[in-house]
Amino acid sequence: MITYLATAALLSLPAWLQLPLEQPNLHDAPYLEQREFSSPITGERFVADVLKQAVPAASYDYDRCPHPALNTLAYTLVIDPATGYVADPASFEQPVEWDSDDMSSILGEPRFERNYPEGLPWANAYPWEKFENAAKLAEAAKRSSMDVANFWLLAAWSVRLDVISGHNEFDTEVASIFSRLPRRGPDPKQLNTLYELQLAAYWEELRTGGQLPDLSDADFSLALAWLYRSRGELLAAQSWLNRATLGEGELAADGTLYQYLMTSIELERYYLGITRDWLLRAYNAAELPAAQEAGSEYMLGEIYRRLGDFAAAKHWYGQASANNLGALSSDMISHQLALVESGRGY
């Protein structure tokens, strides 16, 4: 079973919230294999890409979202293209209690626009759709609030990791902007600051000092928005997107990169709000073993920080610090607490 953490009442997304469809590419190929599955609902057979080996994570976000070489969450679950039923590859073909009508009632229609063959509405599902369906099925099966919360959190993470997946039509635009910006290695004195965030601060310092004259304000703002968004720092990413549309850069709002980042931020924010509510439900129901309480409190602090509620974030970081049994880094909790106390949150 997938275990991470936690979520809220399901809201309907606006119709415009659509993101580019993720498909396997040569970058992912060494880690993938195609396997044939039989739907436990219809009995029909189909082929799906699944992970054939573990993909090491190069680093982790502050909320422990792993950053591997590819978006592994795109291939963690198998989805039945006809009914939307999802499960991990090892258990996918096990008998289930639902039929096609049950699945329609539980899952509803796909909420994201994409091309699919007639009669196969869940074909080529986005990674986050798989985890949405897993969350809904977990709730229908009356599994624990924490189990449901885990799936919603993984939906949020799958949106975040899509930014760095190498599958997006704006990748060339990002590479072009970044090629005009200087690089430097991570600062060993900033052990608790992620490299992308160090780089963003470095570029901002150079920009303030007038050392990046050949880059437009819009392109510079998009570069920083991409960096912050790649790490799920939604407040910072939104702030830089807002700057990208100021003055002569207002046309940036019509660009593919801007539109993607904006909708991506909104989608992760939506999933994190649901994650927060389910995690609170699990916490208030005392579902968690004592050893997991501090981790859940820290996760609540992280979610509230990313959503911009600093008072709540400060409360939960304090709870995590008080109940920490050694599994959490005290320095990291202090680092995150300082972020919210700064008034910026990042």
Q: What is the DSSP letter of 7?
A: B
Would 296 be classed as within a structural domain? no
Query: Residue type for 323, please?
Result: N
Would 258 be classed as within a structural domain? no
Q: What is the DSSP track for 209-252? A: TT--TTS-HHHHHHHHHHHHHHTT-HHHHHHHHHHHTSGGGGGG
With cut-offs at 50, 70 and 90, classify the pLDDT of residue 14.
very low
Nearest CA-CA partner of 340 in 191, 243, 320: 320
Which of the residue ranges 7-16, 64-73, 308-317 would you say has the lowest mean pLDDT? 7-16
Q: Does residue 2 surpass a pLDDT of 60? A: no
pLDDT on residue 157: 98
pLDDT on residue 114: 86
- Dihedral (Cα; 114, 119, 121, 124), 10-degree rounding: -70
Helices (H), the chain: 100-107, 127-140, 145-162, 171-178, 195-208, 217-230, 234-244, 256-284, 290-307, 310-323, 330-341
Angle between the N-to-C axes of helices 127-140 and 100-107, in degrees from 0 to 180, rounded to the nearest 10: 110
Would 136 be classed as within a structural domain? yes
pLDDT on residue 25: 55
Q: Does residue 228 surpass a pLDDT of 70? A: yes
Q: 3-state class of 160 per DSSP?
A: helix
Q: Residue range 289-300: average pLDDT?
A: 95
Would 238 be classed as within a structural domain? no
Instruction: Indicate left, alpha or beta for 119 from its phi (over 0: left) and psi (-120 to 50: alpha).
Output: left
Q: Does residue 5 surpass a pLDDT of 50? A: no
Nearest CA-CA partner of 338 in 308, 313, 304, 306: 313
Query: Cα–Cα distance between 275 and 212 in angstroms, integer?
Result: 40
Would 23 be classed as within a structural domain? no
Would 111 be classed as within a structural domain? yes
Cβ atoms within 10 A of the Cβ of 257, count?
A: 23
Q: CB–CB of 92/79 below 8 Å?
A: no
Q: What is the DSSP letter of 190?
A: -
Would 90 be classed as within a structural domain? yes
Instruction: Domain count for the chain, please give it.
Output: 1
89-116 pLDDT, tens per residue?
A: 999 999 999 999 999 999 999 999 888 8
pLDDT on residue 254: 78
Q: Residue range 193-211: average pLDDT?
A: 95
Average pLDDT, the chain: 90
Would 55 be classed as within a structural domain? yes
Angle at 81 between CA 23 and CA 144, to 5 degrees: 95
Share of the chain above pLDDT 90, in %: 78
48-69 pLDDT, tens per residue?
A: 999 998 899 989 999 999 999 8
pLDDT on residue 294: 96
31-48 pLDDT, tens per residue?
A: 999 999 999 999 999 999
Q: How far apart are the first and last CA of the chain?
A: 32
Range(s) of the domain holding residue 145: 29-162
